[in-house]
Amino acid sequence: MPVTLSYPGVYVEEVPSGVHTITGVPTSTTAFIGRAARGDVDEATTINSFGDYERNFGGLSLLSPMSYAVKDFYLNGGSQAIIVRVESGAQTARAVLPSATVSPASTNPPGDNLWLDAASPGSWGNNLSVLIDHNTKDKGTSGADPTLFNVTILETDPIKKQVVASEKFLNVSVSTTNPRFVAKVLAQLSSFMRVPKDPNNAAAYLIPSGRPNETLAVASPPVSPPAAAKATAVPASGGDDGNEVGAGQFVGVGMEDSKRGLYALAKADLFNLLCIPPFSFTKDVTIPLVGEAVAYCQRRRAMMIVDPPSGWTTKKTARDQFSDSTQDFVGTRSNYAAIFFPRLRQPNPLHDNQVEDFAPCGAIAGVFSRTDAQRGVWKAPAGLEASLVGVPQLSVSLTDEENGELNPLGLNCLRAFPIFGRVVWGARTMEGADQRASEWKYVPVRRTALYIEESLYRGTKWVVFEPNDEPLWAQIRLNVGAFMHDLFRQNAFQGQTPRAAYFVKCDKETTTQNDIDHGVVNILVGFAPLKPAEFVVLRIQQMAGQIET
């Protein structure tokens, strides 16, 4: 009762309705893990376009199959992606700026130098240069702050030798007590450079005793009339892209605890699809890594799109190795993964548009995303609508008969048809072989279940610590039932009536007194999934004529 009844009259009280709307989660947020030209390492960075990828990770790179997969993802209708960059032995470029000493020189690094490191490791940092000037806000005044200076950071195109981007930070200081402390300003605002941390004290920065000298070239001795000062940028150097990445940069001892490699995705709230493109254009992802990645997807209620091995250059090789009972060539047979064959043949912009083979995972994820947006997650991302954009050829051309050898094994095919072009022509999980007779045979069934599970998981958290009795159960039935009925209205389930399409149970039958005593409430949700019309049979009969009786 909200107020004390103290006087005769009418009291108005608002009573909660008990409605807690369950919102469906995204279905096609795709995580990519691999090598990139630049960008934060072992961090989960969300992007919404390939332009975002270019700004954050450097765009297409011959060292990065992932960059081409991300491009294909957005070409084919992808929306949101999460990028995790991994590296092996990459070095960070550094600019060394001599400092004017205002106190006794330090004997420790950086001594009387201001060090500015590239924001991430890689040879891209060698394209950076720094300008320093002392034209600060109080220059020429009696109380001028001797620690203030201005920093300009330039990025130069290594081929055209032209400045393509720049940043300028005014009135920064080498004093740790100044609100414009240079290390904090660059860490928060700069996309290019950072002041390095002290390796012996993670909370401190390597800062010189005085501000850096101006990078100005002035005529000496002075001439008349005075010559204009000329800025001379200090280049960064020492950046290196490191070695080819391998499984050790994705999984290993202690990596899950430290959230590195594959497990950096723990820093992302949600992802639905996982793509791990080949380590390089000559080295496939290892079989054990695929197994661990799929196991992680299962824990996160996501699916992995597995690329076919580069050695699958014929239908026979693909069929024999995929069905080999003596050796595992793909790393998993889980219904939380799907594999697509063959690879894509596309022009490579960095090789004068020569046609080369590329892994299909990014393009397939884009088709998944496009289908989800147009038809819903319950629609199989395959068929004539599932066209592959930007794919002029496939590495292996398949006939209907050859397709018929691979499809019953659970190996999804990419096909080329006249008029329609290149399309996705399979929608089975890797548990989709006919002999397995799995209830999770089809990709849309598995993904619909994951969508419902994740949505209900997030949408029923309000239940925790509520009184565990019939009023709570009734609210649960109301809210979960409303969510399921909305899916039914969108034709996500089989059945002409709600009763035939889904059910929600939460009552004394699902939650016993023993469950209540243990603080447990059980919710039982069932649904009749839509399964794709994989085989269309036309029965045609010739009539001999009309017979009258």
pLDDT in tens, the chain (549 residues): 567 888 999 988 888 887 899 999 999 999 999 999 999 999 999 999 999 999 999 999 999 999 999 999 999 999 999 999 999 999 999 999 987 654 444 555 666 899 999 999 999 999 999 999 988 988 888 888 999 999 999 999 988 889 999 999 999 999 999 999 999 999 999 999 999 998 888 888 999 888 999 886 555 555 666 555 667 889 999 999 999 999 999 999 999 999 999 999 999 999 999 999 999 999 999 999 999 999 999 999 999 999 999 999 999 999 999 999 899 999 999 999 999 999 999 999 999 999 999 999 999 999 999 999 999 999 999 999 999 999 999 999 999 999 999 999 999 999 999 999 999 999 999 999 999 999 999 999 999 999 999 999 999 999 999 999 999 999 999 999 999 999 999 999 999 999 999 999 999 999 999 999 999 999 999 999 999 987 778 788 788 766 665
Architecture of domain 30-88+244-444: 3-Layer(aba) Sandwich (3.40)
Gap between the Cα atoms of 298 and 266, Å rounded: 13
CA-based R_g, the chain, Å: 31
Gap between the Cα atoms of 68 and 348, Å rounded: 9
Nearest to 36 by CA among 118, 117, 123: 123
User: CATH 3.40.50.11780 region(s) of the chain?
Assistant: 30-88+244-444
Nearest to 305 by CA among 80, 25, 31: 31
Q: In this structure, what token pair is assigned to residue 219?
A: 């005529």
Q: In this structure, what token pair is assigned to residue 292?
A: 């661990």
Element (DSSP H or E) covering residue 57 = helix 50-57
Positive or negative, the Cα torsion across 354, 358, 362, 366?
A: positive
